Chains A and B, each alone.
Chain A
Amino acid sequence: MSVTEAPNRAAASPQLSRTEIEANGAVPILYLFGGALVWLLLASVLELLASVKLHMPGLLAGSALLTYGRVQAASQSLFIYGFGVPAALGSGLWLLCRLGKTRLAGPGVVTLGTLFWNFAVTAGLWAILRGANTGYAALEFPRAVASVLLIAYLVISVCGIVTFHHRAAAPLYPSQWFVVGALFWFAWIYSTVMGLLLCTPARGVLQASVDWWYQHNLSTVYFGFAGLASIFYFIPKLTRRPLHSRLQAAFAFWMLALVGSWGGIPDGSPLPSWIIGMSVVGTVFTLVPILAVVINLRETTAHSMPSLDANPCLRFTCVGLLFWVIASVQEVVAALPSVGALTNFTWFTVAQRDLFRYGFLAMTMFGAFYYIAPRLAAPKSASPDSLWCPRLYKAHFWLTILGVFIGYISLLAAGLWQGVMLNNSANSFMAVLKSSMTAIRMSTTGPLLFAVGTLVFLLNFAQLLKNNCCPCCQRKGDA
């Protein structure tokens, strides 16, 4: 097979049928997906509560557990560790099996690792609400919880690497580079910050530098790889067109790995200027892999927008790609010192972060779920995509995209106006606050719609599982 062809061949390895491959990985991958969805719903609800508290500060203010700072920390931690990492693992493991035409290695081990992971996230959530957070953004779970997360992750990723090693198909497809790259990347960055922040904290402001480096690598590289792995697989496959250029995909992969990991240090921070300068340069250079991905996929789809009506996976994946481009370009623009002087410490950066997480990562993972879940739950089904309830998935799509869009635009406007007002010292801080409150109130609609959309998806997922059980117990709908 040509390596640039879309991976949509019906023929499987003579040793293993696709059904056998899907059945083997069904339980652990569906468990990863299911747990991720539940955590995403809870993260969205907490995000909604935090957003409401911004303009109704008296709401639940008497409770230490639900004070704004803890709710915000919990929401972000649940999104990253409850949803983001498990979803990336689930879709990544499935891609390794599908593209490598091999069974998942150690499905029981993966299931056990996921069990420990979810247990640790539960403990971490309780720790944050009780005030035992670490104080480091994106790393709020205490050391004991983080240790369990790291071990569980290593166990699951080793299974992924062994799966990759046992692949039957020789030439690698770009999605496989992204998945394997992601597996190694998170292990590296997470163990680094565990050592330098949680175990033996670095001296003074270096803690902030390490935390910023981690946050940037977590989003731009790790979550970027996870989402792009899905995008590079599903868009060519579902549009039935071969990937335009393997070379461009390789270029995008290596450039993102090289310069995407440089960044995250805000201008004006109390660090030597060479660190800030390198961060700005690295962030600006991420325009190159962004362009490579856009050109490659645009040529793949022959300059025409794929029809989105046919497949929920394609809908979510294409929208996720669009939001990735917007969020990444915004990050590049915000890194410029002249822009950063206006936008740093404002809602502008929150808008970019939320668009990346909810608009890009969540949407592409939703797309992957819509494709993968029915094939795992009912591997023998002739039309797995029809197992979803169409009304529910359309509701999910529109609720999610509207929620992301309204939330993004509102926070963007709030941030820009806040920056303009703040930069004029004649404006009192209260005047700055009042001027952005209308947009802040509007932005609450974003997490509200997203949370409802996630609930709708969870219901759709539950009915899928209920009607088409995993192959471990025979129920109607398998044939």
Chain B
Amino acid sequence: MAISWATFIFGPQLQLGNQQPGQTVSVTSVPTSYPNNMPGLARQGAQVYRANGCDYCHTEQVRPAGLGSDLSRGWGLRRSVAHDYIYEEPVLLGDLRVGPDLANAGSRMDTKAVLQRLYEPRSFPGNDRSVMPSYRYLFEVRPIGRNPSPDALVIPTPFTPPAGYEIVPRPAAYALAAYVANLRQDEYLFEVPPPTNALGTNVMLAAKNAPPAGTNAPAASTNIPVAATNAPAK
């Protein structure tokens, strides 16, 4: 018992117990501190995520290449590392994928897409057989006042509310959507450096040895893809 405790509790605590934010590794920008603490609304959303047991169907960890197809599915640019979670409490890694991994959900969905998915997961094309429960109790279906609410959800048929009614997210829905839309692990770090390019050249080294760019030269392009805002998870 003592050996197990020392190996799996005390040892990791010595190594990671006081882990501090790291520095990003980037060829295009100045290194910054990573991770940043979540915005307040997203932190509240993490509690909504926890309270509704979302981690029983979704994971938030991208496995390395060679262990599953997480990276090739576009679930992340890199594997998840300990640095990604130092500000999370509780850490909601999950252990079953009834639904897709959400470690980089913010790169695939914006807040509106998340809200629509929470109200009715089957409202997206191709998702008619989704088993995700709808969280309609996080929304209010109410009569339209003098003017429609600017926060009203736009839902495709046949899920639209009755005529004269609108769907307005409650605060918990906004918080949860903010949390999911804030989930990103797309910064490279020392322990997960940027990948080498097609010629097998270390991108960082090439950038270091490149001739200095002119002041009006355009920024060097990188391999970091532009995130699609409404692309459904694959």
Contact = CB atoms under 8 A, between A and B. Distances in A.
B127 A57 contact: no
Which 6 residue pairs across A and B have the least CB separation, nearest first?
Answer: A69-B53, A131-B51, A261-B4, A268-B63, A135-B90, A135-B50
Interface in B11-42: 11-13, 15-19
Contacts of A268: 61, 63-64, 67-68, 79
Nearest to B66: A341
A53 B53 CA distance: 14
5 contacts: A209-B8, A268-B63, A341-B67, A423-B69, A424-B69
A67 B63 CA distance: 28
Contact of A55 (B19, B54, B131): B131
Interface string B158-174: 00000000000000000
A147 interface: no
A204 B85 contact: yes
A133 B48 CA distance: 11
A349 B95 contact: yes
B12 A64 contact: no
B188 interface: no
Contacts of A255: none
B183 to A, nearest CB: 14
A137 interface: yes
B133 interface: yes
A245 to B, nearest CB: 25
Interface in B70-114: 72-73, 79-100
Nearest to B122: A57
A441 B135 CA distance: 22
Contacts of A197: 90
Which of A54, A69, A207, A266 is most buried by chain B, counting CB atoms within 10 A of its CB?
A69
Interface in B189-205: none
Given A185-B1, A430-B127, A425 B72 contact: yes
Given A268-B61, A345-B95, 20 more contacts: A53-B133, A54-B131, A61-B136, A67-B137, A137-B95, A185-B1, A203-B18, A205-B82, A205-B85, A207-B88, A213-B4, A258-B4, A266-B95, A268-B67, A270-B79, A272-B12, A278-B8, A337-B67, A341-B66, A433-B98
Contacts of A58: 133-134
Nearest to B80: A270
B19 A430 contact: no
A106 B227 CA distance: 65
Interface of A: 53-55, 57-58, 61-64, 67-73, 131-137, 184-185, 188, 192, 196-197, 201-210, 213, 217, 257-258, 261-262, 265-272, 275, 278-279, 282, 337, 340-342, 344-347, 349-350, 418, 422-425, 428-430, 433-434, 437
A133 B97 contact: no
B95 A68 contact: no
B84 A270 contact: yes
Nearest to B97: A345
Nearest to A210: B9
A261 B98 CA distance: 28
B154 interface: no
Contact of B69 (A53, A69, A261, A425): A425
Contacts of B96: 345-347, 349-350
A196 B136 CA distance: 35
B155 interface: no
B25 to A, nearest CB: 17
Given A62-B137, A206-B16, A72 B69 contact: no
Contact of B131 (A57, A203, A278): A57
Nearest to A73: B53
A69 B89 contact: no
A437 B98 CA distance: 11
Nearest to B11: A275
Which of A196, A204, A344, A425 is most buried by chain B, counting CB atoms within 10 A of its CB?
A204
Contacts of A137: 55, 95
A265 B91 CA distance: 15
A67 B52 contact: yes
A61 B95 contact: no
B152 interface: no
A35 to B, nearest CB: 25
B82 A271 contact: yes
Contacts of A346: 96-97
Given A209-B8, A425-B72, A67 B133 contact: yes
B130 to A, nearest CB: 7
A222 to B, nearest CB: 11
